[in-house]
Amino acid sequence: MLYAIISQDKPGSLSGRLEARPEHLARLEALRDNGKLVLAGPHPAIDSDDPGDAGFSGSLVVAEFESLETAQAWADADPYLAAGVYEKVTVKPFKKVLP
């Protein structure tokens, strides 16, 4: 089943995000390489593809996992969480309808 992992950044966490980014991306690339990743990306803090110093307000990952518990465990091991970037992480089932 698909799960949405919706994460909210702590204010002022851009430096931690940038530092933990390579390890964060490696985990996403592993999901992609295993055919499990539907989409992933950050939410810019301002209306711009390149928010600069404004940074990001969070992230969204939609991926296939065996269960809600497995998805939650994957989210709990995110380097951004360990680095103190995320303030809140919500994991919930997702049903893709379109496209």
Rg (CA), the chain: 13
| 8-state DSSP, 36 | -
Residue range 55-98, pLDDT digits in tens: 999 999 999 999 999 999 999 999 999 999 999 999 999 999 99
* Contact between 76 and 8 (Cβ < 8 Å): no
Look up the pTM and report it: 0.95
Structure tokens at 45: 């803090």
Question: Any bridge partners for residue 8, and if so which?
Answer: 58, 88
